[in-house]
Amino acid sequence: MTSMQCRLGRLSLALLLALILAAPLLADRSGSAPADRVDEVAIDAASRVTRLEKRPVGGPRVNTPNQPTAPSITLRTPEPIAPPPMRELSLVLNWYLSPQHAALIVARERGEFDRQGLTVSISAPADPSVPTKLVAASRADLALGRQPQLHRQIAEGLPLIRVATLVGTPLNSLVVREDSGIDSLSKLAGKSVGYAIDDDIQPILSTMLIHHGLSLDDISVQGVDFALGPALADKRVDAVIGAMRHVVPFQLNEEGIRSRSFLVEEHGLPRYEELILIANRDQLNGKRDDIRHLITAIEDATHWIINHPEEAWELVTLSEPSLDTAANRQAWPEILRRLSLRPAALDASRYLSFEAFLHERGVIDERHPIERLAVDLSAP
């Protein structure tokens, strides 16, 4: 090694030692770097590394900002989702409220209609002959009625159809006072019979009389509106037809009057459905889904009634205090046995048989197919 090289080496070593010794002085003069500044530098460096690592191989270099800008948003409570609008249906009772309407009352009070998305207005008619006519005239969506009434009105040209059954057996009966001496319908000859609606005379009373060798000519009939019990109690008539078997005998018993009932299906009448839901046949397709939901609500209410009869009675009388009578309390177990557990289900043979019966009796001029009479909306 030359003398020049040796001198340069010693100079470099001296400079290095001087820098080492001067480092603390330089640090004191400039101040120590804050820890947060160090962190920012480290984060910035890491971000630069990340950006580089994400650069596509062989692709153009893109100058990406250190902190990508996110779109600005306003944080606020989202608008509530509005429930679908409630669908409205109007229903007219066959007459004033009674225990046979329990499924409708319970469905309303327990919110079954609401759960089906329905608002159902229930009204009682001033005239019991009006409800089905309102439906036929499109002034009501539904009405309650009886199967014999439905057959007759269809024969008269009204566009009606049965869509559900609330009470699937007859409740009608002919009632006499026990002290009248009438222990057989054959003893009605020369007697007076009170009635409320024409259907009770023809075909019901006429058939019962024929079954015992009599005819309408052998008796006198007298309209007493719906005061059947009072008319019999006051002896204005010797018998009444159209008396609800689960109500009128108990009403008479409250007044100390013992009675005897003749059940229509045991005296020549084919079995029929006492309380049915009737719709306008021409408008059925437009309301099919709504009516189906209504029937589901009625079915759910009916099963709850059967499972909880005492609670159901309390609910019915709490919502309709006028029903809380001694006669209705006695009638309650009787009506429970009559409620239809499958309101939508259709017994087509029963309707066709009754149609044939009315045709044979000359009550209607022609027979109609089941499609004109009744429908099962639960069928697929």
For residues 225 and 237, give the distance between their C-alpha atoms in angstroms, rounded to a whole number.
Answer: 13
pLDDT value, residue 379: 84
The answer to whether 341 and 167 are in contact (CB under 8 A) is no
pLDDT of residue 57: 40
User: What string of pLDDT tens digits covers the 380 residues of the chain?
Assistant: 555 555 555 555 555 555 555 554 444 444 444 444 434 433 343 333 333 333 444 444 444 445 555 444 445 666 666 667 899 999 999 988 999 999 999 999 999 999 999 999 999 998 888 999 999 999 999 999 999 999 999 999 999 999 999 999 999 999 999 999 999 999 999 999 999 888 899 999 999 999 999 999 999 999 998 789 999 999 999 999 998 898 899 999 999 999 999 999 999 999 999 999 999 999 999 999 999 999 999 999 999 999 999 999 999 999 999 999 999 999 999 999 999 999 999 999 999 999 999 999 999 999 999 999 999 999 87
Cβ contacts of 125 within 8 Å, gap of 6 or more: 92, 93, 94, 95, 131
Q: What is the pLDDT of residue 280?
A: 98
For residue 77, the model assigns a pLDDT of: 63
Q: Quick one: CA torsion of 48, 52, 53, 54, rounded to 10 degrees?
A: 110
pLDDT attached to residue 31: 44
Express each pLDDT in 261-297 by its tens digit: 999 999 999 999 999 999 999 999 999 999 999 999 9
List the domains of the chain with CATH numbers: 87-169+273-373 (3.40.190.10), 172-266 (3.40.190.10)
* pLDDT value at residue 18: 52
Residue 146: what pLDDT? Answer: 95
